[in-house]
Amino acid sequence: MKAIKCKVISNEQIEKNIYKMVFRSDYISTEARPGQFAHIKLCQHSGLLLRRPISIASVDLNRQSFTIYIQIKGQGTEILCSSVKGDYMDMIGPCGSYFNVSEDIKDIILIGGGIGIAPLLLAAQHFKDRNITSLLGYRDGGQVFSVYEFEKFSKQVLISTDDASVGYGGKITDVLIDILRSGKYDCVLGCGPYPMLKTVKDICQQNDILCQVSLEQNMGCGIGACMGCACKIKTDGGYTYKRVCKDGPVFYADEVIFDE
């Protein structure tokens, strides 16, 4: 992890409020592991001091570049999305822990919801030599992104939308229940909203299957110094707090306490 300035190669709006940005960086494209993020500084005139964490979604070693997807939530992400080709952005990365899957694990399910799909694309790319099944859940047809990229690296891709406009109508976790019933899989890697991740954890426990999840949390320093990103993690005697930015964002689902 180090602080670098990365040049914007392209920035395009791909859905209603989702942008795809490509940056030049030999360092991040070589070093990034699936689940890791870049902590990006906002332009100094914005008056917003805190960086914003954004997952590294894919890398291109030949072009020495990497891609991120940003969904506009508020002022910070809006400022990031207003960058144009040729701008330089100040970032720290690649940050945090990553999806760590041993060699003997062959059949992997990736399950993502909304913008949480982004880090799973790098997982699909990284583990492309295994059997990847990608389950992608979107709110509606106007939010569907990146399916074609997942298809390049996956054995199968299944999509759901809450409004049934594309793919299965309903929750992507229902699709997870179905495919775990019909096939043999070694592990599940998930990222998305907390209620979805909690359901993924429960389903994996019921099916006795290994599961890692990547958590999203607002961040302050992003480097482990402020505890601004604490999450609850199980211990033998009860629980402790860990930092999503440094100890995470990827944890074993069994360890995470998803508060009601």
Q: What is the binding site for ligand FAD (CB under 6 A)?
A: 37, 50, 52-55, 68-71, 73-77, 115, 118, 216-220, 244, 249
Exposure of 50 by Cβ count < 10 A (0-12 exposed, 13-18 middle, 19+ buried)? middle
Q: Which residue in the shown chain puts its C-beta closest to ligand FAD?
A: 74
Cβ-Cβ contacts under 8 Å for 236 (sequence gap 6 or more): none
Q: What are phi and psi of 222, to 5 degrees?
A: 80, 0
Contact 44, 51 (CB under 8 A): no
Contact 117, 216 (CB under 8 A): no
Q: Which of ligand FAD, ligand FES, none has residue 243 at its interface (CB below 5 to 8 Å by kind)?
A: ligand FES
Q: Which is nearer to ligand FAD, 58 or 71 (CB)?
A: 71
Cβ-Cβ contacts under 8 Å for 143 (sequence gap 6 or more): 15, 16, 18, 114, 161
CB 249 → ligand FAD: shortest distance, Å? 4
CB 208 → ligand FAD: shortest distance, Å? 28
Q: Where are the alpha helices (DSSP H) in the chain?
A: 26-31, 75-81, 118-126, 147-153, 172-182, 194-206
CB 52 → ligand FES: shortest distance, Å? 11
Q: Which is nearer to ligand FES, 88 or 241 (CB)?
A: 241
Residues 211-250 that bind ligand FES (CB under 6 A): 219-222, 224-229, 243, 245
What is the C-alpha separation between 115 and 66, in angstroms, rounded?
17
Q: Which is nearer to ligand FES, 165 or 217 (CB)?
A: 217
Residues 80-119 that bind ligand FES (CB under 6 A): none
CB 179 → ligand FES: shortest distance, Å? 34
Residue ranges binding ligand FES (CB under 6 A): 219-222, 224-229, 243, 245
